[in-house]
Amino acid sequence: MRDLVFVLLIAGPALADGGEPVARVTTDSREYCTELAERLATLPASRAEPARSIAEEGLRLCETGYPRLGVAKLRRAIRVARPGE
């Protein structure tokens, strides 16, 4: 019973709008780092600070064997570089 309650708490927000839960697949690989870097490059503010330096640090982490930390930094850089945020 406790497990069912936990599942409902997790799935509840995704089901609240009446739709099916959205699966989120994440991966911590160098390939995903490259994908995020390419996505960042398409944003207008990607070359401005602080997005540029956060992205550089993320790529460095990915290249030196820390893809999980690198992915987190690249995602942060994308958030920072989005217009209006």
**Separation of first and last alpha carbons in the chain:** 41
CA angle 58, 64, 67 (to 5 degrees): 55
pTM of the model: 0.68
d(CA 78, CA 50): 10
Q: How many residues does the chain have?
A: 85
pLDDT tens for 30-65 read 899 999 999 999 999 999 999 999 999 999 999 999
Quote the percentage of the chain above a pLDDT of 90: 60
* Structural domain count, the chain: 1
| 21 within 8 A of 14, measured Cβ to Cβ | yes
- The DSSP element (H or E) to which 15 belongs, if any, is helix 2-15
Write out the residue range of the structural domain in which residue 77 sits: 2-81
Q: What pLDDT score does 70 carry?
A: 97
